[in-house]
């Protein structure tokens, strides 16, 4: 069995591009998955980091992503958070080229369409058909430009390639692989069970031309002795003619940057909290909104020793929390209605009345105000907010999309349609250009800045104040928690897992030579 790695600050300061002779390796491949959250993103990040550490100029690529967790790039666009982590693994800044098409769900049937980092409107499943050819051209152009600029491009699929009902409009799975002649590795999560059937079924349901690009499989999140799995892998190879390139072990140290909605499970803990430095824990309830966006904001809190963060969908989960966090939302008004319907809104109001700490971020900040005028996102017009902050919000048609930095060095980014048009509360801190940012009233704080809590000194000072207001005076902020170093440690751990569990030389052969010839076609009737 593979030994679990210690979580904190591994590989701190390791150079992703060490001084070695550059590799002559070149090529591209696609990592597809049997399901959402099968491990595509982490495998791509691990491969990217591994190759970068070997001196290969490597870039990530996800043609089309569906996620409300996004980041702002240097060129002023937005891409999925997983591609930002993969860029970090490569030693690169995020770029809109790494994720040219992003769908941000605002309801069960509609999503905001973001092309090359810019929102172009909302689309439904049927409307999307009309965009496919234009988007296909965008995807092809950006992938070609990356292949021209880098030695290797590691592409990530979306959902599952076995969703044959969507094959005609597919931009990210076999549609991309066919267009660019990419070999495909299919990764499956064995922790959910049935992974061998998933592999076989995924291959068998594809048409022959798509099957021809499936080179083999990767098992993810395996626990125990790999020898016990080997007979199943041998049978899979006998029946499909395809090998398994590796068995990646489960490691509970991997938890940062959970982009997929499955990573924000209702009422589940966030991360693996370290023991408190002082004598008391600080308990945080993060409200799991139906359309939560940038849920990774709370991960900076979960990096702190002695801070226990849990997603909450029920008012009872908020009752004994020391801090309640309302995160961002892609559907602010609709999620505000959900707060009222579930009773969470009443619990927040009672909490504020007794002086309990509350933090609102972006959409959550907007909900804490007195009035929201939204003719853009929901079309609801004027809606009453929770009224615990004295501010009014008005939605504009153009999205605010920018990286920000305060005069004191605080960094963050903004992604929102709603703007503060009136505020009678003091600003929380000096924002970009010295203008006041956010609001504070008693033990209630709010800001439009995502990533604010990743500023280590700011977070520590603020948590100290939260602990005092929550009467948790035995809580002490750790002096050395470094969220950026934690994130770097994650990608190095991913690279270590890939290096120790995959046949890396076989993978590099795939990159250089493509899919092995003569792979059989499965026919199931």
H or E, element range at 215? strand 214-222
Of the candidates 303, 362, 416, 417, the residue annotated as catalytic is: 362
CB atoms within 10 A of CB 167: 15
Q: What is the dihedral of CA 257, 261, 262, 264, to 10 degrees?
A: 70
Structure tokens at 118: 């810019």
How far is residue 165's CA from residue 36's CA, in Å, rounded to a whole number? 16
If phi > 0 it is left, if psi is from -120 to 50 it is alpha, else beta; for residue 514 that is left
How far is residue 167's CA from residue 156's CA, in Å, rounded to a whole number? 16
Select from 440, 276, 288, 300 the least CA-distant residue to 358: 440
Structure tokens at 16: 């992703």
How far is residue 294's CA from residue 454's CA, in Å, rounded to a whole number? 13
Four-residue CA torsion sign, 129, 134, 139, 140: positive
How far is residue 56's CA from residue 59's CA, in Å, rounded to a whole number? 10
Residue 509, φ and ψ in degrees, nearest 5: -65, -40
CB 298 within 8 A of CB 269: no
Q: Label the pairing between strands 282-287 and 307-312.
A: parallel
Residue 122, φ and ψ in degrees, nearest 5: -105, 145
How far is residue 481's CA from residue 80's CA, in Å, rounded to a whole number? 26
Cα 478-268-355 angle, rounded to 5 deg? 60
Structure tokens at 464: 């100290």
- 474 DSSP 8-state letter: T
Structure tokens at 362: 């972006």
303 is catalytic: no
Identify the burial level of 169 via C-beta atoms within 10 angstroms of its C-beta, where 0-12 means exposed, 13-18 middle and 19 or more buried: middle
Four-residue CA torsion sign, 492, 493, 495, 500: positive
Structure tokens at 444: 């209630």
Residue 24: C-alpha distances to residues 27, 51, 54, 55, 61 (Å): 10, 12, 11, 10, 20
Select from 379, 396, 392 the least CA-distant residue to 334: 379
How far is residue 201's CA from residue 286's CA, in Å, rounded to a whole number? 38
Residue owning tokens 């990608």:
491
450 is catalytic: yes
CB 293 within 8 A of CB 286: no
Residue 156: C-alpha distances to residues 170, 230, 338 (Å): 13, 26, 33
Residues carrying an active site annotation: 362, 450
């Amino acid at each position: 069995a593979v030994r679990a790695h210690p979580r904190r600050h591994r590989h701190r300061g390791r150079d992703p591009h060490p001084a070695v002779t550059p590799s002559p390796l070149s090529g591209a491949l696609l990592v597809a998955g049997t399901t959402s959250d099968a491990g595509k993103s982490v495998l791509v990040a691990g491969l990217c980091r591994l190759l970068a550490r070997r001196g290969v100029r490597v870039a990530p690529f996800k043609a089309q992503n569906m996620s409300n967790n996004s980041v702002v790039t240097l060129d002023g666009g937005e891409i999925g958070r997983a591609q930002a982590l993969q860029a970090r693994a490569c030693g690169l800044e995020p770029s809109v080229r790494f994720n040219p098409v992003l769908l941000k769900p605002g309801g069960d049937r509609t999503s905001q369409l973001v092309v090359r980092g810019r929102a172009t409107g909302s689309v439904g499943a049927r409307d999307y058909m009309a965009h496919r050819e234009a988007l296909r051209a965008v995807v092809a152009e950006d992938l070609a430009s990356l292949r021209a600029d880098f030695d290797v491009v590691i592409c990530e699929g979306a959902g599952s390639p076995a969703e044959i009902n969507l094959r005609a409009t597919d931009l990210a799975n076999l549609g991309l692989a066919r267009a660019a002649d990419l070999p495909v590795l299919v990764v499956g999560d064995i922790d959910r069970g049935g992974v061998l059937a998933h592999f076989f079924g995924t291959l068998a349901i594809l048409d022959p031309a798509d099957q021809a690009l499936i080179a083999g499989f990767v098992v993810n999140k395996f626990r125990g002795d790999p020898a016990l799995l080997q007979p199943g892998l041998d049978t899979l190879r006998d029946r499909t003619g395809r090998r398994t390139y590796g068995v990646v072990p489960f490691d509970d140290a991997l938890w940062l940057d959970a982009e997929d909605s499955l990573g924000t499970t209702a009422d589940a803990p966030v991360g693996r909290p370290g023991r408190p430095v002082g004598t008391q824990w600080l308990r945080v309830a993060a409200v799991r909104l139906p359309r939560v966006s940038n849920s990774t904001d709370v991960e900076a809190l979960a990096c702190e020793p002695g801070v226990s963060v849990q997603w909450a969908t029920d008012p009872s989960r908020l009752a004994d929390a020391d801090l309640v966090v309302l995160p961002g939302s892609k559907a602010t008004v609709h999620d505000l209605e959900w707060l009222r319907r579930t009773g969470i809104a009443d619990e927040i109001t009672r909490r504020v009345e007794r002086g309990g700490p509350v933090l609102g971020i972006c959409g959550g900040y907007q909900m804490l105000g007195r009035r929201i005028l939204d003719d853009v996102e929901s079309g609801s017009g004027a809606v009453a907010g929770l009224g615990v902050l004295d501010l009014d919000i008005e939605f504009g048609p153009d999205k605010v999309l920018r990286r920000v930095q305060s005069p004191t060095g605080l960094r963050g980014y903004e992604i929102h349609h709603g703007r503060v048009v009136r505020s009678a509360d003091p600003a929380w801190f000096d924002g970009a250009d010295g203008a006041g940012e956010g609001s504070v009233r008693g033990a209630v704080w709010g800001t439009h800045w995502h990533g604010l809590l990743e500023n280590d000194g700011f977070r520590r000072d603020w948590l100290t104040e939260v602990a005092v207001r929550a009467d948790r005076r035995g809580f002490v902020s750790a002096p050395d928690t470094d969220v950026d170093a934690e994130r770097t440690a994650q990608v190095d751990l991913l690279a270590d897992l890939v290096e120790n569990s995959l046949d890396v030389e076989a993978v590099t052969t795939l990159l250089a030579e493509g899919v092995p010839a003569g792979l059989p076609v499965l026919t199931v009737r």
